[in-house]
Amino acid sequence: MRVYLDNNATTRVDPAVVDAMLPYFTEVYGNAASRSHAFGWEAEKAVERAREQVAAVIGADPKEIIWTSGATEGNNIAIKGIAEMYGEKGRHIITQVTEHKAVLDPCSYLAEKHGFKITFLPVDQYGRVSAEQVREALTDETILVSIMHGNNEIGTLQPIAEIGKLCKERGVIFHTDCCQTFGKVPIDVSAMGIDLLTCSGHKIHGPKGVGALYVRRRNPRVRCGTVMHGGGHERGMRSGTLNVPGIVGLGKAAELCRMHMDSEPKAIAALRDRLKDGIMSQLEEVYLNGHPVERTPTNCNISFAYVEGESLMMGFDDIAVSSGSACTSASLEPSYVLKALGVGDELAHSSIRFSLGRFTTQAEIDYTIERVVASVRRLRELSPLWEMAQEGIDLKSVQWAPH
């Protein structure tokens, strides 16, 4: 058996999405910007249909959807584009510490190269910020608040409707990275006061290298400065020939999510809970990371005390998961997201992210529970620290001999 539980990193493309895309490679291959012939018109028609499919998921007008190469680009256009367009009004941006690097890095860039002031709000033990924290951080200089909906590592959902409402009251633009929630958790851009929203095809069983950015056109009309200069495609906000097959695939993937919105997220969350309960009921000293209830349906992140995450992963190499350590160059750094929650380095290194998707089965979950429990027990048996802890020795009191 080979089990894929790394759906927060990327997902398998749904076969129905592949079917929808195929004709756009070999039959309808025109440039969607070609206005002078049917090849172009047909491609444009497919692109506009996909715009409707994506817009429908979030209650937007299709005209408010901008195609991108993915969420990294979408976040860059949103943050740097707003900074460019509204930088005269003010030079302060509010975000929070557990955002994806595709939000944190553009913000740091604006601070370092363009003198913006960035507030990185801290999070609580579950990884949440509150609208109150945002309110306290707002100044007359604030032009943008960027807070993600669901976290990719720990699954925690942020109170974006409350934050959006606050931003509306204060006339500040609100951007939210919804990669992990688009099509999985209900989103309504108007009810939630969202001005800009990022999503990505490959997180929703669509293709890689394509995404969408929602940019509000009314109440208020939001404009992004140009990050990609060229032929003026996508209302001037993102030039470049459109990836028609990719866009068709993203549209289809969005439609599938919308069609199954009432049942699929619940079914995935039930499997996620089965996994969590199956593991946590059989092992001691295991801890769930992220919010117990306010979390995405796909994510289960657990720390296994006295076991090193990387070793644990090697113990079940037929199950694809990811660990709480980021393999940056040579060093193994504990995840900045877990650190932000106050999880210690040891526990962060012992954490595993299991993330489920449309194609996850109950048999796979049951197999995973069995394999994980057995691997943790075996590794703990080999661990002198675990043995000492079992004997009631307080490890903090131990005088370790110098190396």
Ligand X SMILES: *Cc1c(COP(=O)(O)O)cnc(C)c1O
Chain residues in the site for ligand X (CB under 6 A): 70-72, 100, 102, 148, 152, 177, 179-180, 200, 203, 211
* Residue of 211, 259, 254 lying closest to 66 (CA atoms): 211
Choose between 70 and 245: whose C-beta lies nearer to ligand X: 70
Task: Quote the distance between the C-alpha of residue 354 and its chain's center.
Answer: 14
* Whether residue 167 lies in the annotated active site: no
Choose between 8 and 350: whose C-beta lies nearer to ligand X: 8
Instruction: Report, in Å, the least distance between residue 274 CB and ligand X.
Output: 23
Q: How far apart are CA 162 and CA 181, in angstroms?
A: 17
Instruction: Report, in Å, the least distance between residue 305 CB and ligand X.
Output: 27
Instruction: Name the residue whose CB lies closest to ligand X.
Output: 70
Choose between 58 and 305: whose C-beta lies nearer to ligand X: 58
Choose between 30 and 155: whose C-beta lies nearer to ligand X: 155
Choose between 119 and 200: whose C-beta lies nearer to ligand X: 200
HSE-CB for 111 with a 13 A CA cutoff: 14
| Identified catalytic residue from 107, 178, 179, 327 | 327
Instruction: Report, in Å, the least distance between residue 99 CB and ligand X.
Output: 8
Q: How far apart are CA 206 and CA 143, in angstroms?
A: 33
Instruction: Report, in Å, the least distance between residue 245 CB and ligand X.
Output: 16
Instruction: Report, in Å, the least distance between residue 301 CB and ligand X.
Output: 13
Give the catalytic positions in this structure. 327
